[in-house]
Amino acid sequence: MVGQRIWHETGLVDALAEGALVVTAGERLARAVQLAYARAQQRAGRQVWERPRVLSWQAFLTEQFNACQDAALTSSRTDASRLPSLLSPLQAEALWERAVRTSEAADSLLQPTAAAQLAQDAWLLSHAYRLVAEELAKSAAADTAQFIGWAADFQSRCDSENWLDAARLPDQLVTWIAARQLDVSARLVFAGFDEWTPQQEHLLQSLREAGSQIERRVMDAVA
């Protein structure tokens, strides 16, 4: 089939066997890698084996956040109470809907919930590609002005409650890595990423500078 995607199963299985942490672009690929590893263990005649370290990108970020929280609880150098709380996707969605429904534009919106979802998507993209509010404000589009207002409301609420959302999590991890508040994995293998955003590249560079061996495995398109 044209466009079918294959991935380097043997290389990923070998990396896992050597103790690497494999980070995939999505949950589906993470499950496929786990299954491939299980099949390899069965072919080798094993009946039991340690669970391989395979995480999707978002699960990887969340694990790093939790690791920093856990480290703070056992460290005298960091006040755990000052670390932010990570919003769940549903909590972040509710905050965006609140920002939309309490704005002056709410009465003119036919579908406030849909508008909130679009605003949340725009927020994620603006952080992923480092589009700062000052640059967005230069646009004369009314939709952009509305988004900036909703984003300011969302940001203000998060700041006042010390909440962190998925859009800003990679940048927060970079800060913690630079401050040596987060122990990085010795070897990280990233698989299935067709494109890397500036935000992702920044985090990978921080991991590399902190001592991680970073590898990228590209998915190949074949006929």
Q: Could you tell me the pTM of the whole model?
A: 0.89
Q: Answer whether residue 164 shows pLDDT above 60.
A: yes
Distance CA(187)–CA(214), nearest Å, equals 6
What pLDDT digit, counting tens, does each position of 193-216 carry? 989 999 999 999 999 999 999 999
* pLDDT tens figures, 78-128: 566 688 999 999 999 999 999 999 998 888 888 999 999 999 999 999 999
Q: How confident is the model at residue 17 (pLDDT cuts 50, 70, 90)?
A: very high
Q: What is the pLDDT of residue 155?
A: 95
What is the average pLDDT score of the chain?
Answer: 88
Q: Is the pLDDT confidence value at 190 over 90?
A: yes
Separation in Å, CA 159 to CA 10, 168, 177: 45, 12, 21
What is the C-alpha separation between 105 and 188, in angstroms, rounded?
45
Which bin fits 211, alpha (ψ -120 to 50), beta or left (φ > 0)? Answer: left
Cα–Cα distance for residue pair 122/68, rounded to 1 Å: 28
